[in-house]
Homo-oligomer: A and B are copies of this chain.
């Protein structure tokens, strides 16, 4: 008989997927260029030419047996050393290659990190609004996800709620900064307060509370301000990274977990992740891409388009009277809907070929997400539709 747990999951339709299917279908009717599809977080800029050149050169020149041979189960040592050096250079850290575990993107990174620091039944706390995939990521590992209500004022942490939920059962806290869907980066103040609280509670409970930090948007920041690096604030941090967004390589599934060098047993944790892999059938990302990202570790795609898009959208939203925290990074913006029911709001928007995602599944009802990883020219055209939508449907706002 087929596994009940997974079969039952099929009956639940994903809102984002339904919206994306609508956008595709509507695109066939009126041309996809006329559908203002803000539903999906697929990068809209190409991988840097330097990465493509590296891939082609490596395929042309390297011994294919060495190039395509089995990667050691923790990742290719030379690649891990280069990635560690890049993190050290950029964030003043002190990683060695042995603190890095190579994964299939951030999803793989979180899958390993959570299994490494939890026992079945342990709680993992995350903060709303959160990426809805955290639910299967955490709950299928055997741990239990609990989510802290949002602080909608600025989308920093709701510490009052958090403290209430931070009990002895909590083995790990999962953060995502800069955040999908809010676009907000946690401030130094927030991270300091978080670290202090985790230290205090770890002492009180007599066991470490680990911080799992999901950081795929680390390099996409605005106004020339870098996003504070969470590991700098707390030594029990596992940084989960993906090159999907920074290098526009989402389909190639490449990322890592970097365990803080001062975390007790940091290198043991990396070896444990190799054991975890044996049970979940992962066994390293593609060798070719391990080498390619390590060789280009300091590089990013030309991410400036996201800031340009954000400014256009943010200014229009302000002009139209929306409530919205200005994003510090990512390619998301997270305004409050113009009626309490964000699902109804987003449904009305579809009439104007605007595909917006209601944030109920992100744990933040009443808000909606726009993923502006699309061409600026299209963003500009969509603002006309947005104005028409708001002025027609909400004339007395």
**Which chain A residues have a beta carbon within 8 Å of chain B's beta carbons?**
1-4, 6-7, 9-10, 42-47, 52, 55-56, 59-60, 63-65, 67-71, 103-105, 107-112, 115-119, 133, 136-137, 139-141, 171, 207-208, 244, 248-254, 265, 268-269, 271-273, 275-276, 278-289
Distance A140 CA – B288 CA, assembled complex (angstroms): 28
A sample of 10 more A-B contacts (CB under 8 A), given A69-B250, A103-B281, is A2-B117, A2-B269, A3-B116, A6-B275, A46-B65, A47-B68, A70-B250, A280-B280, A280-B282, A282-B282
Q: Which chain B positions have C-beta within 8 A of A280? A: 111, 140, 280-282
Given known A44-B65, A116-B6, A251-B67, contact A105–B285 (CB-CB < 8 A)? no
**CB < 8 Å neighbour of A251 from B71, B107, B276:** B71
Q: Which chain B positions have C-beta within 8 A of A47? A: 64, 68
Give 4 closest A-B pairs by Cβ, nearest first: A140-B279, A111-B281, A251-B287, A136-B278
B56 near A42: Cβ-Cβ < 8 Å = no
Distance A70 CA – B105 CA, assembled complex (angstroms): 11
Q: Which chain B positions have C-beta within 8 A of A283? A: 104-105, 107-108, 253
B9 near A275: Cβ-Cβ < 8 Å = yes
Q: Which chain B positions have C-beta within 8 A of A65? A: 43-46, 248
Q: Which chain B positions have C-beta within 8 A of A56? A: 56, 59-60
Distance from A3 Cβ to chain B, minimum over Cβ atoms (Å): 6
B7 near A286: Cβ-Cβ < 8 Å = no
Q: Which chain B positions have C-beta within 8 A of A119? A: 1, 3-4
Distance from A264 Cβ to chain B, minimum over Cβ atoms (Å): 9
Q: Which chain B positions have C-beta within 8 A of A63? A: 46
B208 near A1: Cβ-Cβ < 8 Å = yes
Number of copies: 2
Given known A2-B117, A289-B286, contact A278–B59 (CB-CB < 8 A)? no
Distance A64 CA – B51 CA, assembled complex (angstroms): 11
B108 near A268: Cβ-Cβ < 8 Å = no
Q: Which chain B positions have C-beta within 8 A of A70? A: 42, 244, 250-251
Distance A364 CA – B37 CA, assembled complex (angstroms): 58
Distance A46 CA – B64 CA, assembled complex (angstroms): 6
Distance from A137 Cβ to chain B, minimum over Cβ atoms (Å): 7
A251 near B286: Cβ-Cβ < 8 Å = yes
A272 near B116: Cβ-Cβ < 8 Å = no
Q: Which chain B positions have C-beta within 8 A of A108? A: 281-283
